[in-house]
């Protein structure tokens, strides 16, 4: 049996819980920044939402200990009405797309049985290379989760097929990531919870309050470009399809 990352933080009330949607980040705060509003909007509509952080995000310059970062992550999850948050023990700053990392994440997919998975969809130039690696790990884990005749790597857990794999983005320098298949989702009623979730990371942002203003303006710009008060970009890696385009345009699908 290979050695895979253990769970170092888990806010589940029961290890038997399953979810509808999981968003995966390299570090606690990635998901909040990239798609926190979308997750909150799904939670408000009754979907069970989870977050998996591949690392604890530490060390960072202004955080005294990993325990503080994990406490901040728990508060942020509460703001977004997230039911499950799991933090794996993969190494911050040294995150690489490895077989062990893929298995560790796919194992969680088999446990939590999401229908949708959101992963990081692009690199972040001049920022952490962990983000690009996390995207690669997530895409591979979506595939590994459904493979049969491989139970020896998953402690006997049966395969689980994920219906939809989507991308979210961390870059705040453009309205639509180039070369993708993006849509803008409406987070008008979820912008303030998103910002409160980000602000919960006092160790990361208390000394940089302008970041929250920048994120607010960016989300407002995205939303207002298509008629919402605020929005986030979600992308499909291969292309969108609608059973009923008219219902989708009206926001009911």
Kindly report, residue by residue over 9-58, the tens digit of the pLDDT.
888 878 788 999 999 999 999 999 999 999 999 999 999 999 999 999 99
Instruction: Quote the pLDDT of residue 174.
Output: 66
How many domains would you assign to the chain? Answer: 1
Name the percent of the chain lying above pLDDT 90.
80
Q: Which residues are 49's β-sheet partners?
A: 21
Mean pLDDT computed over 116-144: 96
Q: Which domain holds residue 219?
A: 7-249
- Does any domain span residue 2? no
- Numbers of helices and strands, H then E, in the chain: 8, 8
Instruction: Quote the pLDDT of residue 13.
Output: 78
pTM of the model: 0.95
Instruction: Quote the pLDDT of residue 246.
Output: 82
Smallest CA-to-CA distance from 38 within 157, 173, 150, 182 is with: 182
- Does any domain span residue 14? yes
- Does any domain span residue 1? no
Give me the half-sphere count of Cα atoms (radius 13 Å) on the Cβ side of residue 155: 9
The position carrying tokens 């849509």 is 183
- Does any domain span residue 244? yes
Residue 36 CA to residue 195 CA, distance in Å, equals 8
Rounded to 5°, the CA angle 91-96-98 comes to 110
Smallest CA-to-CA distance from 204 within 78, 61, 47 is with: 61
Q: Which CATH number does the domain housing residue 210 bear?
A: 3.40.50.10320
* Span of 60-69, 111-120, 172-181 with lowest mean pLDDT: 172-181
- How do residues 222-243 score in pLDDT, each as one tens digit? 999 999 999 999 999 998 888 8
């Amino acid at each position: 049996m290979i050695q895979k990352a253990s769970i170092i933080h888990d806010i589940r009330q029961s290890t038997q819980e399953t979810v509808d949607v999981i968003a995966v980040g390299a570090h606690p705060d990635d998901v909040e920044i990239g798609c926190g509003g979308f997750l909150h909007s799904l939670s408000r509509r009754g979907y069970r939402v989870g977050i998996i952080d591949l690392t604890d995000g530490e060390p960072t310059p202004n955080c005294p200990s990993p325990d503080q970062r994990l406490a901040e992550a728990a508060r942020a999850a509460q703001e977004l009405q997230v039911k499950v948050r799991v933090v794996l023990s993969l190494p911050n700053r040294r995150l690489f797309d490895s077989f062990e990392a893929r298995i560790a994440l796919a194992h969680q997919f088999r446990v939590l049985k999401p229908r949708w998975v959101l992963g990081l969809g692009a690199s972040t130039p001049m920022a952490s290379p962990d983000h690009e690696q996390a995207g690669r790990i997530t895409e591979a884990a979506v595939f590994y989760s459904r493979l049969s005749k491989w139970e020896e790597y998953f402690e006997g857990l049966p395969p689980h097929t994920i219906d939809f794999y989507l991308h979210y983005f961390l870059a705040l320098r453009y309205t639509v990531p180039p070369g993708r298949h993006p849509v803008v989702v409406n987070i008008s009623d979820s912008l303030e919870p998103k910002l409160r979730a980000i602000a919960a990371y006092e160790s990361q942002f208390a000394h940089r309050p302008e970041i929250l203003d920048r994120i607010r303006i960016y989300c407002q710009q995205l939303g207002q470009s298509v008629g919402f008060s605020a929005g986030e970009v979600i992308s499909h890696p291969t292309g969108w399809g609608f059973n009923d385009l008219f219902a989708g345009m009206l926001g009911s699908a």
